Structure 1
Amino acid sequence: MIPPLLFQLMILLSWSINALAESPAIAKLNCPTHCGNVSIPFPFGIGTGCYLDYWYAVTCNSSTPILKSINLEVLNISISLEASTILVNHPVLDNCTAGVRRATVNFESSPFFLSDANRFTGVGCNTFAYLFSNNSIISGCISFCDKSNISPEPSNVKLRDSGCNGIKCCQTRIPSSLKLQKLNVSLSTIIFKGEMQGQNKCQSAFLVDQEWLGNNIDSPDKAQGLKHVPVVLDWGIHGSSFDSTERNSSKSYTRTSDCSRVFANISTSTNTSTSTRVHQCSCRWGYRGNPYLLQGCQGKLLPLI
């Protein structure tokens, strides 16, 4: 016969195991939770009534999720204590002429910001790549070709190890103090007398998730052929939309989630200045799930006493 105290402890342990086994909801009720192998948590959603507002609407085309508001493929959406991020597949700017090419990365007015987990990267011979914002250069780099070309990089050396240090590839940070939503990219060729003959004349420039680049590209030559690369965006909820989230239907639920992380970007044009203010939420320590949903953070265990 099982002693009463041991029996009670077994029941509590069983409840705890069941609580761990049940995954907290990530999407609204009766809404798709995945597109292909990509999880789609609220406030993002697939289908009418499944997302918070226009910015978070996702279409699922042949198992490929597309964030409609910025028309980019979604590779991953993350909600954590550290940060809320979305990984998107962003086009690369390339240049195979002796001229100058420019492009604009623009997320203004959206709840998406360029993360400092990205690095600005230039690839190719005699490449001059730089970023400017509000008519000021904020970052840039130059890469050259090793004229001797005697000892190619070992195939097992990744860009993370070699540092992308200026030979066929250069890399720099974007200012972490700025919450950037718009950047202009410029890519041009520096021509020295007698050079560029017999060399690949194409260059490319792009923002890219530094971790992905270091783990997946093992030489500048392979980086040169890229057409799209993963870019990390920080995201949150516009202040104007924040009070309409489900979690705010219950003030008592703030015991399990926290939305105190707020950041803003100020964009200045010729005559106007606008501020984009967003809230980021996370489950409190000991809870897990989706803090943007009512009862979305669950899983704290009962003490076994």
Structure 2
Amino acid sequence: MAINKFMILVLLPIIFSSKSVVSISNFPLAKPHCREHCGNIPIPYPFGLTEECSLNKYFLITCKNTSRSHRLQAYLMNSIHISNISLDGQIRVLQEIAHDCYAPDGTSVSRKIPLISLPHHYNVNSTANMFTIVGCDNYGFVSGSSFLIDCIATCGTEDNFLEGARVEMGCCQRPIPIETSSLEVRLYTSDNYTKVNHSSKCGYAFVVEDSAFRFSPENLTSLRNVKKLPVVVDWGIMNDSCLEAQRNSNSYACKSSNSDCHYPSNGFGYRCLCKEGYEGNPYLPHGCQDIDECKDPSLHNCKGYCENKEGSYKCSCPKGNFTRDHSPDVCSLLDIL
């Protein structure tokens, strides 16, 4: 049995988890006098495009043109391609996928061995990503410091495929364990595709955002034209607990008076969120601003008048009405004889 292998090494000393995307368009994103965008990608503090505009070196973003694109693109540590940054504690990294392709006689014709290395304060999100192998003659593993997960992708006939499958008919997927700070992905082929009756002679392996990839039989050939796929990565501040961080007001990252410190569900350290009734950037001194719930009917349940309050709102009934059970969200006409 001929065995060929390649590796993807994903080293992610990382931290934290939460919602995927947060709306930050109506509030200050960056520190004063700092650029807020790289191309069309918002760069909210603690991230920044210069050392003076970022919290520290782990949040420094490089904005540059590449030889293949005329658009400005954002890179973490000058090499990790970023497509989105969320103040809820996540970034999306565009990671190159690995492939291993063969000629009909079993000769290797193309192989890709991508490498990605991320800084401290980051973790692979354990619920938003899947380890995936696509192919007809492939098996492989994803491993970290304390786990090893296998996956096998084989093909019967081309009529046997199930779209969206998580089974081993052309595609195999496995979840990523919690608090994964490093990943090594290995891909093997059993017979160099010499015993596979399928037009595709390539295998692929990657970690990918689950919602961004749904298997289809066409992937066995179409993935040849795909260079990168998104991976959700959690980020956070330092390795301190909230109590430890709050002891030093100078280094404590939750600068807005309307923000709170939270522990992540994945990873270590802490992150900052605006208090209920506020939105914006909790890492800036005046970053969390009051939400006017009265302007959006979906944010309040008032049946009469809505009055915006700092961090909240108040309901009241029009003149000639009364509140039932002292509840201002239910107004009834007075029964006057």
Shared fold by TM > 0.5? yes
**AA at the equivalent of 2:135:** G
State the TM-score, normalized to the length of structure 1.
Answer: 0.71
Structure 1 residue 31, shift from structure 2 partner? 1.0
CA distance in 1, matches of 2:217, 2:277: 37
Among 100, 109, 116, the alignment partner of 1:95 is: 100
**AA at the equivalent of 1:77:** I
CA contact (8 A) 1:52 1:245 kept: no
Structure 2 portions without partners, runs of 5+: 1-24, 66-70, 292-307, 317-337
2:163 is the counterpart of 1:172 = no
**AA at the equivalent of 1:299:** D
SS in structure 2 of the partner of residue 75 of structure 1: strand
State the TM-score, normalized to the length of structure 2.
Answer: 0.65
| Structure whose residues are more often helix by fraction | 1
CA distance in 2, matches of 1:56, 1:205: 28
**AA at the equivalent of 1:284:** K
**AA at the equivalent of 1:52:** L
Alignment of 1:79-118 (within 5 A): 79-80=87-88, 84-96=89-101, 106-107=117-118, 110-116=120-126, 117-118=128-129
CA contact (8 A) 1:43 1:52 kept: yes
CA contact (8 A) 1:25 1:289 kept: yes
Alignment of 1:25-174 (within 5 A): 25-62=28-65, 63-69=71-77, 71-80=79-88, 84-96=89-101, 106-107=117-118, 110-116=120-126, 117-134=128-145, 137-147=147-157, 149-150=158-159, 162-174=164-176
Task: Give the share of equivalent positions with the same residue, in percent.
Answer: 28
Q: Which residue of 1 aligns with 2:211?
A: 211
CA distance in 1, matches of 2:133, 2:215: 17
**AA at the equivalent of 1:43:** P
CA distance in 1, matches of 2:205, 2:136: 12
2:269 is the counterpart of 1:278 = yes
2:295 is the counterpart of 1:293 = no
Structure 1 portions without partners, runs of 5+: 1-21, 154-158, 266-276
Q: Which moves more between the two structures, 95-104 or 123-132?
A: 95-104
Is the radius of gyration larger for structure 1 or structure 2?
Answer: 2
Structure 1 residue 24, shift from structure 2 partner? 1.9
CA distance in 1, matches of 2:217, 2:263: 34
SS in structure 1 of the partner of residue 213 of structure 2: helix
CA distance in 2, matches of 1:217, 1:55: 40
CA distance in 1, matches of 2:117, 2:220: 27
CA contact (8 A) 1:41 1:77 kept: yes
CA distance in 1, matches of 2:185, 2:199: 24
Q: Which residue of 1 aligns with 2:182?
A: 182
**AA at the equivalent of 2:282:** P
CA distance in 1, matches of 2:276, 2:62: 33
CA distance in 1, matches of 2:26, 2:213: 32
CA distance in 1, matches of 2:217, 2:54: 35
| 1:135-178 deviation line (CA, Å, top 9, x unaligned) | x652221111233x24777xxxxx5xx22432221111112xx3
Equivalent residues, number: 254
Q: Which moves more between the two structures, 178-187 or 64-73?
A: 64-73
